[in-house]
Amino acid sequence: MAVYTDISEDDLKRFLAAYEVGELTSYKGIAEGVENSNFLLHTTTGAFILTLYEKRVDPGDLPFFLGLMQHLADRGLNCPLPLARTDGALLGTLSGRPAAMITFLEGMWLRKPEAAHCREVGRALAEMHVAGEGFALSRENALSVSGWRPLWDKAKDRADEVQPGVAAEIAAELDHLEANWPSDLPAGVIHADLFPDNVFFLGENLSGLIDFYFACNDLLAYDVSICLNAWCFEKDGAFNMTKGMALLSGYQSVRPLTAGEIAALPLLARGSALRFFLTRLYDWLTTPAGALVVKKDPLEYLRKLQFHRSVNTALEYGLTISEPDA
Amino acid sequence: MAVYTDISEDDLKRFLAAYEVGELTSYKGIAEGVENSNFLLHTTTGAFILTLYEKRVDPGDLPFFLGLMQHLADRGLNCPLPLARTDGALLGTLSGRPAAMITFLEGMWLRKPEAAHCREVGRALAEMHVAGEGFALSRENALSVSGWRPLWDKAKDRADEVQPGVAAEIAAELDHLEANWPSDLPAGVIHADLFPDNVFFLGENLSGLIDFYFACNDLLAYDVSICLNAWCFEKDGAFNMTKGMALLSGYQSVRPLTAGEIAALPLLARGSALRFFLTRLYDWLTTPAGALVVKKDPLEYLRKLQFHRSVNTALEYGLTISEPDA
């Protein structure tokens, strides 16, 4: 949950004067996102999300994030649209922080997604990859292969606190991934954090994608591998091939994976499992004991990583190979 | 901020099936209240607050709280109205907790209220006291004079950690208040926690009162004294007589205070200052250092208490005595 900065109604009214959103009738801090402060606003013209960007977000990245949402929405993707101020800017200042007004997207994220939802997610991810083409700005992925070792160096000495033997296993894994990470696969703008809480549904229909604050330029299939990790494992740790098949076929119904992407998928999935293992491990080791933040178990991702290491081909994820000339 | 319990969209849909609120389109945990989990829901028919009552609330008190809101709303007070389920009940169960659906009240609480707002608050408090007449249920005030010593006994040994000399000062104050607390003043249903964050405004107009979870039966003028403490002091600790005058005259425009109430007001204000001092002191001493909860300074209320001790008559609060026969 996240409301790090309270705002006064006077400051808010001054801030809103630069937008054409009608009269403010209520605002509530909401428990959404972990990096920023978010408020749900009602005005005489509708509902909006107001986001105050807190310290963990680099202000230099905001034009990329907001511009990307605008670019994607312009191309028909269902995602929040940053409102332009009357001076044309997408970004203002509120309570000393960069702040943006964003359209409110109705929908709910699924605590227990089923295979049919995974298919919708795969399709939406591919639609995002296609819609992202031509976006003028770019942003390096700080949490891709080159970013893992610096993160690991900060945590490795205490990694065995989580489970004995982890330090050696991850060191070997990191060596392997660095040595074998592909560089010749299709790249573009990826979401990089498309977990269930960032995908809204209305009934069985996907109503939109949110939270583009990890978006960056990277291998498109790496984004697919993140979704395999985020959507296709059961609570008991087992990979659900029905969900994997649904997610991959949904993706391929919009953008077929290349032979190179398919071959690399198990390795990419090891990489994305390692990425979430590392950030969770770091948070686990550095979050004070009394804090109210829910610590996410890094071992969940170690187990996923181990599963991907056992995978020989993407067929084991449920991939259905379509005829090349079909 | 408060969201202690996450809820799944499936559980929520089952819960909502007992209400006539249309189709759910979104729900967000909101940072409102400190005792319960609150969600802002959008449905095809409007906006609602869903409250899950957490451990600190006695389930036996819920019929009083919800029934009171219904009673007050029926009598025209602007306050949230609990929705009845199709079986007539005001209370259901969600995620193992008692839960209620309540109408969403548009409006914003004021971070910097002015005298004109204090007048509106005084008027609304009196309207609530009048509207509360005839409410069938009753609830003792656990945080009135008889509740202070048990609270003090839990904190007194460490009170001087907050400021040397506090223990002796409060012990003497408590003796004085217990010996002189009035019992013959008009009583009824009081809000007991009408701080700025529980009063909503739209522009300059008060749009409603919220959060009746401290409401109880007690002296009406004690509720007035709580508002003097909550609304009429400046950040620097000074009492603002203009605000006091506005609050009291707003109150008296609806319900004139009796001579006995006026005479008792300084003592009642000492009591309500002590009540908030004691709960803040207790929280201060028992909240773990790493917790993300904002600790409120108990000394703010010690200074208010000291001010009230210096007050001889309610005229010093800005009370305007109207002619008895006017």
For residue B57, give every residue at least 6 positions away whose Cβ sits within 8 Å of its Cβ, in sequence order, or none: B35, B36, B98, B213
CATH code for position B44: 3.30.200.20
Closest approach of chain A CAs to the CA of B266, in angstroms? 31
CB contact under 8 A, A6 and B42: no
B222 within domain boundaries: yes
* Closest-CA residue of chain B to A13: B203
Residues A66, A202 share a domain: no
In 3D space, the residue among B186, B185, B199, B320 whose CA is nearest the CA of residue B253 turns out to be B320
The C-alpha atoms of residue B94 and residue B103 are separated, in whole angstroms, by 18
Euclidean distance between the first and final Cα of chain A, in Å?
48
pLDDT tier at B3 (50, 70, 90 boundaries)?
low
* Residues B237-247 pLDDT 10s: 999 999 999 99
Q: Last residue of a domain, which of B103, B138, B163?
A: B103
The total number of residues shown for chain A amounts to 326
* Residues B18-38 pLDDT 10s: 999 999 999 999 987 667 899
The interface pTM score, or ipTM, of the predicted complex is 0.84
CB contact under 8 A, B30 and A32: no
Chain centroid to CA B286: how far?
A: 22
A110 within domain boundaries: no
Question: Among A191-200, A284-293, A297-306, B41-50, where is mean pLDDT lowest?
Answer: A284-293
Averaged over A209-219, what is the pLDDT? 97
To the nearest 5 percent, what fractions of chain A are helix, strand and coil?
A: 45, 15, 40
pLDDT at B5: 74
Instruction: Name the residue among B1, B108, B202 with its Cβ closest to that of A27.
Output: B108
What residues of B are in the A interface, CB distance below 8 Å?
1, 3, 6, 8-10, 24-32, 40, 42, 47, 104-112, 200, 202, 288-293
A70 within domain boundaries: yes
What rounded mean pLDDT belongs to chain A? 93
CB contact under 8 A, A8 and B291: no
Averaged over A189-200, what is the pLDDT? 97
CATH code for position B152: 3.90.1200.10
Closest approach of chain B CAs to the CA of A178, in angstroms? 38
Q: What is the DSSP string of B157-201?
A: GGGGGTSTTHHHHHHHHHHHHHHH---SS-EEEE-S---GGGEEE
CB contact under 8 A, B31 and A28: yes
Closest approach of chain A CAs to the CA of B251, in angstroms? 25
Closest approach of chain A CAs to the CA of B9, in angstroms? 7
What residues of A are in the B interface, CB distance below 8 Å?
1, 3, 6, 8-10, 24-32, 40, 42, 47, 104-112, 200, 202, 288-293
Closest approach of chain B CAs to the CA of A285, in angstroms? 15
How many structural domains are present in chain B?
2
Instruction: Name the residue among B26, B108, B289 with its Cβ closest to that of A290.
Output: B289
Instruction: Name the residue among B8, B28, B106 with its Cβ closest to that of A32.
Output: B28
Chains A, B: CB contacts within 8 A come to 90
Residues A286, A197 share a domain: yes
Map tokens 């929405």 to a residue.
A73
Residues A204, A151 share a domain: yes
Q: Residue A263: how many CA atoms within 13 Å on its side-chain side?
A: 9
Please report residues of B whose CB lies closer than 8 A to that of A206.
Answer: none
Residues B139, B60 share a domain: no
Residues A59, A136 share a domain: no
DSSP state of B28: E
CB contact under 8 A, A293 and B289: no
CB contact under 8 A, B6 and A110: no
The C-alpha atoms of residue A63 and residue A56 are separated, in whole angstroms, by 16
Residues A276, A134 share a domain: yes
Cα–Cα distances (Å) from A261 to A93, A187, A268, in that order, read 42, 11, 9
Residues B283, B202 share a domain: yes
Q: Which domain holds residue B265?
A: 115-317
A2 within domain boundaries: no
Instruction: Name the residue among B25, B30, B111 with its Cβ closest to that of A30.
Output: B30
The C-alpha atoms of residue A13 and residue A149 are separated, in whole angstroms, by 46
pLDDT at B185: 98
pLDDT at A325: 45
CB contact under 8 A, B10 and A290: no
Closest approach of chain A CAs to the CA of B206, in angstroms? 12
Residues B128, B95 share a domain: no
A108 within domain boundaries: no
Task: Output the six-digit token pair for A60.
Answer: 């230099």
* Residues B147-182 pLDDT 10s: 999 999 999 999 999 999 999 999 999 999 999 999
* Residues A77-95 pLDDT 10s: 999 999 999 999 999 999 9
Please report residues of B whose CB lies closer than 8 A to that of A24.
Answer: 108
CB contact under 8 A, A31 and B32: no
B109 within domain boundaries: no
Chain centroid to CA B180: how far?
A: 24
B325 within domain boundaries: no
Residues B191, B74 share a domain: no
**Residue A270: pLDDT above 50?**
yes
Residues A174, A137 share a domain: yes
* Closest-CA residue of chain B to A112: B8
Q: Last residue of a domain, which of A68, A103, A138?
A: A103
The C-alpha atoms of residue A61 and residue A39 are separated, in whole angstroms, by 21
Please report residues of A whose CB lies closer than 8 A to that of B202.
Answer: 25
- Side chain identity at residue B1, one-letter code: M
**Residue A182: pLDDT above 60?**
yes
To the nearest 5 percent, what fractions of chain B are helix, strand and coil?
A: 45, 15, 40
Residues B165, B205 share a domain: yes
pLDDT at B139: 97
Q: Last residue of a domain, which of B38, B73, B103?
A: B103
B183 within domain boundaries: yes
pLDDT at B287: 77
Residues B26, B77 share a domain: yes
CB contact under 8 A, B31 and A202: no
Q: What percent of chain B has pLDDT over 70?
A: 94
pLDDT tier at B208 (50, 70, 90 boundaries)?
very high
